[in-house]
Amino acid sequence: MTDFGKVLMAMAVVLFVIGALWQIIGRLPGDIVIRKGNTVFYFPIVTSIVISVVLSLIFYLINRFR
């Protein structure tokens, strides 16, 4: 298998994991949802904060043990 094929497979796995996690943590309490008529505005503020903290910890650990 070529390197490009391995990269595509890794990206597919990452996207699958992100999609599965989004179903679990996609609607946390504190996310802003405004419904008016046929329009829905969704701003995932708490979800964004949680993702930011998790990514910060992951990158910190990667840098620390590198």
Tokens of 21: 């996690």
- Cβ contact 61:54 at 8 Å: no
Higher pLDDT, 36 or 24: 36
Chain mean pLDDT for the chain = 88
Instruction: Look at 36 and 50; give whichever has higher pLDDT.
Output: 36
Q: What are 4-29's pLDDT values in tens digits?
A: 888 889 899 989 988 887 787 777 88
Q: How many CB atoms lie within 10 A of CB 46?
A: 15
pLDDT at 54: 87
Model confidence at 41, in pLDDT bands (50, 70, 90)?
very high
Check: CB of residue 34 under 8 Å from CB of residue 41: yes
Residue 63 belongs to what H/E stretch? Answer: helix 45-64
- The number of distinct structural domains making up the chain is 1
Residue 44: which domain range?
3-64
